[in-house]
Homo-oligomer: A and B are copies of this chain.
Amino acid sequence: MPIPSNYSSPTRVSAKKRAFAQIQEWIIDGTLQPKEKLNDAELAQALGVSRTPIREALQLLNVQGLVEMFPGVGTQVTSVKKEDITKILPPLGALEALAAELATPLITQDTIDTLREINSAFARAIKKGDFYSALKQDEKFHNIIVENAQNQYLANSVSNLQAHVLRLYFHQSIILTDTSIDEHESMLKAFENRDPETAAKIARTNWLRAIDEFYAEQKDSRE
- Chain A contact residues, CB within 8 Å of chain B: 14, 55-56, 59-60, 63, 65, 71, 87-88, 90-91, 94-95, 97-98, 102, 151-154, 156-157, 160-161, 164
Instruction: Tell whether A87 pairs with B153 under 8 Å between CB atoms, given A56-B56, A94-B94, A94-B98.
Output: yes
Contact between B90 and A151, CB atoms less than 8 A apart: yes
Copies in the complex: 2
Contact between B91 and A95, CB atoms less than 8 A apart: yes
Contact between B154 and A157, CB atoms less than 8 A apart: no
User: Chain B contacts of A153 at CB under 8 A?
Assistant: 65, 87-88, 91, 161, 164
Contact between B151 and A87, CB atoms less than 8 A apart: yes
User: Chain B contacts of A87 at CB under 8 A?
Assistant: 151-154
* Whole-angstrom CA separation of A95 from B91 in the bound complex: 6
The 8 A-B pairs at the shortest CB distance, nearest first, are namely A91-B154, A94-B98, A94-B94, A157-B157, A87-B151, A88-B153, A87-B153, A63-B63
Instruction: Tell whether A98 pairs with B102 under 8 Å between CB atoms, given A56-B59, A60-B59.
Output: no
